[in-house]
Amino acid sequence: MFGPEADREPELPRDDGRDRELLQQIAGGERKALEQLYFNYHGRLGQFLSRLTGRRDAIEEAINDTFWIVWQKAAQFRGDSRASTWIMGIAWRCGLKALRRSGPLPPEHGEAILEAISSVDTTLAAEELREWLDSGLRSLPFEQRATMELAYFLGHSCEEIAAIMGCPVNTVKARMFQARIKLRNLLPTLGGAPSREEVNRE
Amino acid sequence: MSNLTQSHRHAWETIPWILNGSASEAQTRSAQEHLRQCADCREALAFEQQLREAMMQPQTNLSDAEAGWQSLCARLDSNSASQKNWRESSRQPMPTPTRTRRGISARWLAAAVIVEALALGAIVTASWINGAGRQPASEYHTLSRPDAVNAAPTIRMVLVPGMTLEQFRVLLSNAHLQVVAGPGEAGVWSLAPAEDVTSVATEAALRELRRNPQVRFAEPIGAGARASPP
């Protein structure tokens, strides 16, 4: 039903034993372990934060702050969540702080998004597709955009996103619901996605 | 989305979590059953799948990981150096106590005062309980303060020169007498019976004094004079 793409493993492995080991070593003051964790997470954090702020200096500052705190607080990781959830929670708060200092990207108006979308060929190149998607995501409120990122890009569960963002699970569900509705209206033929008629004919 | 039934809404809400692999087995099975019958949800699933694929495309303008790591290392080194300096400086005697140390000292002082007050209270209470009906303590005497002598002199005595202090003490002790005054300008000592001796013993005291060759003169005073002429 969902096809091979749907069966693909999420971005973050469910068994995060290696991350836990690294956190234990970091708690013991091993900088080599911090280095490994840093490079394991840098790409994910950079992409997650880049969609939140789009400002390179703020991204670097947030990543630096995140691993600074990981270095200081690794001993406080109790293991009652995935290590990635704990780290992303820190990254989320550091991202918010960096945003407050540097300011977020201004949200794009719905009309501009619709105009951009209508001018895009349905056979989009990967680069164009990403830009199109980025425009759509930037039209979302900040928290909705982050929720989409945490779910689709980083593969966190609803409960984990609630823990990362420090909000109730129902708030995560509501943000996800509203974000999907809005993107569904803004990006009707995303990347050559089948239209409703095509789906119905299957 | 206007005619959402409960199962339709449940399936629609579950789609992201099915796609990212975090939905439970029961949630996935329930959503699959609904999707077989619901074109809207199948369309939503296809769209969300595309959306997720697009979101997972790598970004191009990410920060440089190596440069970021070096920046973090510099920050860690700087902090380590600061902490080392702080530890070394903290080993030096402080000219004035820190706020924290003052706070700790104040708390210890307060605790000591409380303990002392409790101890004193316990002692006073114990003394009050144990001391009920007890005789009052004897009056305190300093060495420089002469014993109060209430007895009136009963004997006057003149000594031969050359008597030692020890001979004088033995003389008085044997006669059960004490000095009330003297010696005067003529070398006369005024003596009275010791505290535990009644006036009846004056005659015996005179006999004891007169028997000693170093006593030149010993005479009763007042009633004692009438009682026993030498």
- Taking an 8 Å cut-off on Cβ atoms, the answer to whether B20 and A10 are in contact is yes
Residues A172-186, mean pLDDT to the nearest whole number = 90
Residue B47: list chain A partners with CB under 8 A: 184, 187, 190, 193
pLDDT of residue B93: 55
Q: Is the ipTM of this complex over 0.85?
A: no
- Taking an 8 Å cut-off on Cβ atoms, the answer to whether B55 and A63 are in contact is no
A156 pLDDT more than 80 = yes
Tell me which of B2, B45, B57 to substitute to probe the interface with A (most A C-beta atoms closer than 10 Å).
Answer: B57
Residue B40: list chain A partners with CB under 8 A: 196
Residue B20: list chain A partners with CB under 8 A: 10, 151-152, 155-157
Look at the pTM and tell me if it is higher than 0.90: no
Domain assignment present for B29: yes
- Taking an 8 Å cut-off on Cβ atoms, the answer to whether A152 and B39 are in contact is no
* Neighbouring C-beta atoms of residue A15, cutoff 10 Å: 8
Domain assignment present for B47: yes
- Taking an 8 Å cut-off on Cβ atoms, the answer to whether A152 and B52 are in contact is yes
CATH class label, A14-102: mainly alpha
Q: Which of B21, B37, B55 is a domain's end point?
A: B55
E-strand stretches of chain A: none
pLDDT of residue B197: 61
* Structure-model confidence comparison of residues A186 and A28, the more confident one: A28
Our count of domains for chain B comes to 2
Dist. CA B1–CA A182, nearest whole Å: 13
Model confidence band, residue A135 (pLDDT cutoffs 50, 70, 90) = confident
Domain assignment present for B187: yes
> A38-64: per-residue pLDDT in tens?
999 998 888 888 877 767 888 888 999
**Spacing of C-alpha A45 from chain mean position:** 8
Model confidence band, residue A4 (pLDDT cutoffs 50, 70, 90) = very low
Dump the DSSP string for A83-127.
Answer: HHHHHHHHHHHHHHHHHHHH-PPPPPPHHHHHHHHHTS-SS--HH
- Taking an 8 Å cut-off on Cβ atoms, the answer to whether A153 and B56 are in contact is yes
Q: Contact at 8 Å (CB) between A45 and A120?
A: no
Domain assignment present for B39: yes
CATH of the domain at B200: 3.30.70
Listed by start position, the domains of chain A span: 14-102, 110-192
Sign of CA dihedral A27, A32, A37, A38: positive
Domain, as residue range, for B20: 6-55
A34 pLDDT more than 80 = yes
pLDDT of residue A112: 47
Domain assignment present for B221: yes
Model confidence band, residue A179 (pLDDT cutoffs 50, 70, 90) = very high
pLDDT of residue B86: 66
Q: Is A80 on the interface with B (CB under 8 A)?
A: no
Average pLDDT, chain A: 78
**Spacing of C-alpha B190 from chain mean position:** 57
The CATH number fitting domain A110-192, selected from 3.40.630.10, 3.30.70.600, 3.30.1540.10, 1.10.10.10: 1.10.10.10
Token readout for B108 is 């210890």
Q: Which residue in B190, B167, B163, B168 sits closest to B179, CA to CA?
A: B190
Per-residue pLDDT of chain B (230 residues; tens, 9 = 90+): 444 588 888 899 999 999 999 999 999 999 988 988 889 889 888 888 888 888 887 766 567 888 889 989 988 888 777 766 666 666 665 544 444 444 455 566 666 667 676 766 666 555 555 544 444 444 444 444 455 456 788 888 888 888 888 888 888 888 888 888 888 767 888 888 886 665 557 888 888 888 888 888 888 887 545 444 44
Q: How far is A13 from chain B (nearest CA, A)?
A: 10
Dist. CA A185–CA A95, nearest whole Å: 28
> A87-129: per-residue pLDDT in tens?
999 999 998 888 887 765 554 444 444 444 444 444 456 666 6
Token readout for B204 is 């015996």
Q: Which of B34, B55, B76 is a domain's end point?
A: B55
Q: How far is A117 from chain B (nearest CA, A)?
A: 14
